[in-house]
Structure 1
Amino acid sequence: MPKGQGMQLTAAAAAELGRQAAVAGTPGMMHLDLVDGTCERWVIRIRPGRLAGVPVARADGITLFAPGDQGERLNTLELDYRGDLSGGGFLIRTGRDHRVCACGAAFGPADEPSPGGSTSTK
């Protein structure tokens, strides 16, 4: 992962990734990949371990891996985590190049129409 490039992790996201990795028995390693979404083009899927791929983000003792061909799509994204008493989840924040769904876990290119005509927020 070249310095200054890659996905950014907030402190909350790094802490939750680290917690999940430790519980799964893969301390310091988590894997993110993009799967087809319904509200936007891609949805993030996060699993423990390295699985396959290249590092796309590092923060606070956690390395997040992703398939090599998905790295470019992740470069301008920031991964955050929000939790409360009823649960929690990972959220994506992005710049002008992408559109993020109201669910917070799906995104797509700003210059493409949303799948199914659903409403998205930026």
Structure 2
Amino acid sequence: MPKGHSLRLSASAAAELGRQAAVAGTPGLVHLDLVEGGCERWTIRVRPGHLAGVPIARADGVTLYAPAEQLELLTGLTLDYRGDLSGGGFLVLPGEGVVSCACGSAFSRGKEGRQATQ
């Protein structure tokens, strides 16, 4: 993993990533990338397998990969997972200088948010 990178995984996120990877037939391998758009500038997308990129986080036997060009955007974030009887989803817990939207799956850094671009 790149030195100084600080994306963190909560215990519930690591457990759900491990479950999804196992179900997909790629135990321990998960890919995360950011897609522009949504209620804030960046929306997270999580898919099983090692599609491309570099390892950015490891927890509970799961390695999370992301495109190298997105490492700076992911620094200081925590990936969490919340589930209930009606479903669940991954959430971005913001760090300093990061704004997360109400749904929790999108974020902006500093002044790059939706409000700043409109």
> So what's the TM-score if we normalise by structure 1?
0.89
Q: What's 1:103 paired with?
A: 103
Q: Corresponding residue for 1:22?
A: 22
- Report the equivalent of 1:13: 13
Measure, in 2, the Cα distance between the counterparts of 1:63 and 1:55: 6
Q: Which runs of 5+ in 2 are unaligned?
A: none
Which structure 1 segments of 5+ residues have no match? none
Query: Residue 89 of structure 2 corresponds to which residue in structure 1?
Result: 89
**Alpha-carbon distance in structure 2 between the residues aligned to 1:2 and 1:47:** 21
Give CA-to-partner distance per residue, 1:60-89, whole Å, 9 cap, x none: 100000001001111110000000111000
- Do the aligned residues in 2 keep the contact of 1:29 with 1:49 (CA within 8 Å)? yes
Q: CA RMSD in A?
A: 1.8
In structure 2, what residue type is equivalent to 1:71?
A: L
Mapping 1:1-122, distance limit 5 Å: 1-2=1-2, 5-115=5-115
Distance 1:113 1:63 in 2: 29
Percent identical residues: 64
Secondary structure in 2 aligned to 1:88? Answer: strand
Kept in 1, the 8 Å contact 2:58–2:64? The answer is yes
Runs of 4+ in 1 over 6 A off after TM superposition: none
Q: How many residues align?
A: 118
TM-score using structure 2 length = 0.92
